[in-house]
C-alpha cells in the first residue's frame, strides 16, 4: 500500500468523519507477516465507528466479557476455539463466530492461529478484565 492513501498521521491517524479508511486494498497476508506477537490486535481498517483488526493467537486467553460490544472473529490462518462457559466453537479459515455483548468467552489456540476481528473502535481485548500480560493497547495500526 502507498503511504499516500494512509490517513493523516498528524491528526493522530484518525480519518476525517465520513472518510473511508484505508483507500487501497489491504493484503491480509502481508499484514499478518508484520505481526510478531500473540494476543495484541492490530488495526488494519476502520469504518462506521468500527475497526477491522488482525491478531495472532497461541495458548489460552483470559476469560472476559465486553459489556457494550459484540465481537466478531473470522479465522484467517490455523485453527482456534472461541470458548463459552457452556460450549466451544471451532474456528478455521472461512469460519466466523460472533460473541454477543455481555457473554463471557475466551480464545484458545493449541498452535499459532490468526483471526480478523470486527468490533467497535477502542474495544479492549480483555473486556472487563485488566491483565498485565494480555491487555493490549487499543488503536495500534499496521
Among the listed ranges 6-14, 32-40, 69-77, 85-93, the one in contact with Ni ion (CB under 5 A) is 69-77
How many chain residues bind Ni ion (CB under 5 A)? 1
Among the listed ranges 10-18, 26-34, 70-78, 80-88, the one in contact with Ni ion (CB under 5 A) is 70-78
At its nearest, how many Å lie between Ni ion and the CB of residue 61? 8
Nearer to Ni ion, 51 or 71 (CB): 71
Nearer to Ni ion, 101 or 141 (CB): 101
**Chain position whose Cβ is nearest to Ni ion:** 71
Pick from 35, 31, 95, 102: nearest CA to 71: 102
User: CA dihedral defined by 45, 55, 35, 9, rounded to 10 degrees?
Assistant: 30
Binding site for Ni ion (CB under 5 A): 71
Amino acid at each position: 500500500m502507498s503511504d499516500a492513501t494512509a490517513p493523516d498521521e498528524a491528526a493522530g491517524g484518525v480519518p476525517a468523519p465520513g472518510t473511508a479508511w484505508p483507500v487501497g486494498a489491504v493484503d491480509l497476508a502481508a499484514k499478518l507477516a508484520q505481526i510478531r506477537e500473540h494476543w495484541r490486535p492490530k488495526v488494519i481498517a476502520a469504518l462506521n465507528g468500527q475497526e477491522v483488526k488482525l491478531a495472532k493467537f497461541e495458548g489460552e486467553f483470559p476469560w472476559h466479557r465486553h459489556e457494550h460490544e459484540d465481537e466478531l472473529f473470522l479465522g484467517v490462518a490455523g485453527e482456534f476455539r472461541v470458548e463459552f462457559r457452556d460450549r466451544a466453537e471451532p474456528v478455521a479459515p472461512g469460519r466466523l463466530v460472533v460473541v454477543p455483548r455481555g457473554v463471557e468467552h475466551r480464545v484458545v489456540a493449541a498452535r499459532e492461529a490468526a483471526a480478523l476481528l470486527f468490533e467497535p473502535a477502542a474495544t479492549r481485548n480483555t473486556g472487563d478484565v485488566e491483565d498485565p500480560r494480555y491487555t493490549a493497547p487499543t488503536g495500534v495500526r499496521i
